[in-house]
Structure 1
Amino acid sequence: MEVLMDCYFEEVFKNLDRDCLFSRTKRRELVQYFWTVIAGCAKGETNECDYESSCRHFVLSALRYHEKSRNENGQVCLMGKYHNVLYVAAKLAFDWSLQDNYTVARLLDEIYSCEKTFERLFLGAIFGTTAPHFIAGWKSDFKDKEENVHALVYFLDHATNANLEYKDGDISRRFIDVPLESCGRSPPVRILVQIGGSEMLLILLRFGATLDLENTSTNPVETILDKLKESNRKYPYEMVTCLRVILRVIPTIKLTVDMNEYKNFDYEADYNYQRRTVLEKYSHMLEDHLIPSARCGLRPTELKHLCRCSIRHRLWENFQLPFGIRKLPIPVALQKYIDLCID
């Protein structure tokens, strides 16, 4: 199988036009071709039908071809078919549920080394299959939004198991937090907060996506609260759901402190500012029970919730979200609570 794949890339693929995989239709045709090859080679194995091994051989061959073409060009990716073959490999890895974590992690590393983003794996799950064409000029390799979501979860699982982190200057980010270039270099969580994508937001937070609560311009809690404030008490369901999901992750609402008001800033000033801002600026949301008084400093935060936040942080540090929750020796109801499924 491995020899067959290498021969294809060396004897057939190299003679194809550079832009032969620019069209999604052409990529799907190649996926279907190799889907048949993988199935045929697996059935031809002497010991047993090994689809996993056949799929792994193809992905590794695609990675070798991409790496070789880049090395021959002075460590600069030629893009075109030389790069798009990685997305053919990604689609086949997902279709055959390739479980070899090392191979899938290498695939993600190769994509990032050229693009410095994973937007072609995220945008389809966030916006559906049509929007990426208008946002970034390409079409998703997965057939519909549901398959895009399943594919994203598949790669999130592998990235988590492989403890993948990517350098962006002096900052290291995990796969789930890498900014999307075509969306103003915003992280996926920020985009979902802006559009009110509560279902995808829950998925990403379960996998340990981080909320940039310290950034005064991108604080997701304040973004949602301000949008709800503008609705004149006709609260959009998706925004309300986003707020409730985020409140399951953070110990308490942390609002941006106006330093001009507190020249001698200290903990007590911060605490009083939080309380006063909530009471004055978002009082109607308190009355409508959108903001729990125990999550905004008006009452002590529930010990159960603080324990959930602490446990999730420890699991996040060890790349164990969300599946490591199932290993905890606690009742199923508490596992669901820690996994953000209930509040």
Structure 2
Amino acid sequence: MDRAPGMSVRLRLALSYAGFLMVAGALLLAAVWLFLLRYVPERALLVSSDTLTHGVFPVRSGLLRAFAPSAAAVLVFLLVFGLLGGWVLAGHMLAPLSRITDATRRATDGSLSHRIRLPGREDEFRELADAFDTMLARIETHVAEQQRFVANASHELRTPLAISKALLDVARTDPGRDTGELLDRLHAVNTRAIDLTEALLLLSRAEQRSFTREPVDLSLVAEEATETLLPLAEKHGVTIETGGDIAPTSGSQALLLQLTVNLVHNAIVHNLPDRGAVRVSTGVRPRTVVLTVENTGEKLAPRLVPTLTEPFQRGTERVRTDHAGVGLGLAIARTITHAHDGTLTLTPRAAGGLRVTVELPAAAPRTGPEGT
């Protein structure tokens, strides 16, 4: 709906300043006038010649005729001075707001790299500008991550489709080819595509936080995840050790289980080729609970570790394994952690391998008969 144009804030502030100054001046003139009236008679005084009093004694009517033009001139001066001064002061006061508005327009046009960087002392406008700069930085980072994610997802999804097309083209040109091998390869390619699609859906669900919170014990989740992946660990010759304390938190049981499964699966697959080990533990801190998954393995470069939680970030040796996954394991774990208001930290172990620490808010203690 179209809105009728109105007065600018600067003009309204200028009028307000001028109006306030006019009222203050009028009150001051009225106070002076009332003060003078106390000592000015309404009628002329008769003074005898033998008194010591000499001079002219004005009456109220004469004083009013002399005072009114001067008072009117003062009020006109205050009006003009108030308008001009108010206009200048309002422009100076609203200058930071103009910079914020300009930055907002640039962001609306798609320029997220611009920052206000408002100078000066800390005040309401400075706080607003700093908050806006922080918001722009986060949005720019999020948009860049989304664009990179979409590009990587498109590439990952295009790869199995291209392989399927190539296999079908080969089968069409060579009717005598063994169909059993073709079906096995098509099945493997389609399975990978389905796993990737499900991982993308899970990642989207975690980002949207579309889940119901309920009490969850991370120690029980860790036990369930390790039991589920125990056959995979035995196949890779990896031993799993679990331990720790009861770690109550709140969130989605299914998502936290998926988080733990992803971390344990990653620790099993990316381990030593022989006699590898994985340790899963839980703990309690003053206000948080902690899930730690660490494994043995090759030494990791410190610069490489922060990139492991990016979607589709896998080393070359990971891609060649039959359990390489879809490159979203740690990315999903990080997203689930953030959706539960927690933090996920990756730390390379000095002896080789990786330590992943998930810290989540602890559940509020129960009160009442059932909680005692």
TM-score bin, normalised by smaller chain: under 0.3
- TM-score computed with the length of structure 1 as normaliser: 0.21
**Larger radius of gyration, structure 1 or 2?**
2
Which of the pair is proportionally richer in strand? 2
- TM-score computed with the length of structure 2 as normaliser: 0.20
